[in-house]
Amino acid sequence: MGSQDDFFEALGPTPDPPNDSPGFFTHASGLFRGVDVAGKHLGVRGTGTDPGAPGVIGEGGLGDNVTAGGNGVFGHGLNGVVGYSATSIRLMATEMNEPAGVFGVGDESSAVGVRGESVGPNAGVVGVSRKSAGGVDAGPGVRGQSEGIGVVGQGDIGMLANGDNIGVQASSKKGPGITGHSVDSHGGVFDSVKNAQLLLVPIENLAPPQLPQSDAGALAVAITLDERERKIASLWFCRIGGVPGQSNWVKIA
């Protein structure tokens, strides 16, 4: 072991696990902070050299019936905690422009950005959003953004949504707002207690045969005016798809 004014170095050797001792340690019996270090470019760096050895392990106090347990790792900064998988490339611009409490980046092979796992009834990941102190409405609890699929849910129930006003709201610029598919059952099931199971918002100022593109099997509701200028809804079914002049619609109600 050697020491100098500008550094301390412990070389070992120490006994093999489980009787190994650290190169540097403190006891909490008389210390409020075990270690307090600061560096101009890096405060603490931990490296595990053996295969599978973690770089840093954080363990918080478990607490009791009076005091709350501590956090294993607490991060505070532009991004609270930043994690990259071994082969991923650091995204400095994204870190700066889209800061997060936890910022995780996976690689192109198999690593995900952030993974949460739970056993039993608890959720693997919980996203919570609240109104700001200034009264600004809360944003989404979870947001999925992708050049492919925004959110994927897998399970006995792929996705479960409960809302005070709307259970699920979906919109699309080009394709369908919602698509339902099943191999052995219905593509969609709708149930309601105090209202109709399904509502089709009428198309105004355009009859279904005039739609730019029609698909066989489509249902549409249009609005027409009666002799008293009252709006009357009518239900149509598309027998033959195509552009206006080629499609065939039948008014069924």
Q: Supply the mean pLDDT for the chain.
A: 88
Assess contact for 234 and 221: CB atoms under 8 A: yes
- pTM value is 0.70
Contact predicate 84/105, CB 8 Å: yes
224 three-class SS: strand
Closest CA to 248 of 199, 200, 224, 214: 214
- Where the chain has pLDDT below 50, the residues are 1-3
The token pair that represents 135 in the structure block: 């009264």
**Contact of 251 with 238, CB cutoff 8 Å:** no
pLDDT (0 to 100) of residue 1: 41
Which residue's structure tokens are 């603490």? 44
Question: For the segment 182-225, what is each residue's pLDDT rounded down to a tens digit?
Answer: 999 999 999 999 999 999 999 988 899 999 999 999 999 999 88
pLDDT of residue 78: 92
Asked if residue 54 has a cis previous peptide bond (ω within 30° of 0), the answer is no
Instruction: Note whether 222 and 232 are within 8 A (CB).
Output: no
Separation between Cα atoms, residue 36 and residue 46, nearest integer Å: 15
**Residue 240 bridge partners (DSSP):** 248
Dist CA 120 CA 76 (whole Å): 30
Task: Transcribe 83-141 into DSSP letters.
Answer: EE-TTPPP-HHHHHHS--SEEEE--SSS--S-----SSSS-S--------TT-PPP--S
Both tokens assigned to 4: 């100098």
Terminal Cα distance for the chain, rounded:
92
The alpha carbon torsion through 92, 97, 98, 102 (nearest 10 deg) reads 50
pLDDT at 212: 94
- Confirm if 250 and 236 have CB atoms less than 8 A apart: yes
**Pairing between β-strand 248-251 and β-strand 231-240 as defined by DSSP bridges:** antiparallel
Check: CB of residue 144 under 8 Å from CB of residue 153: no
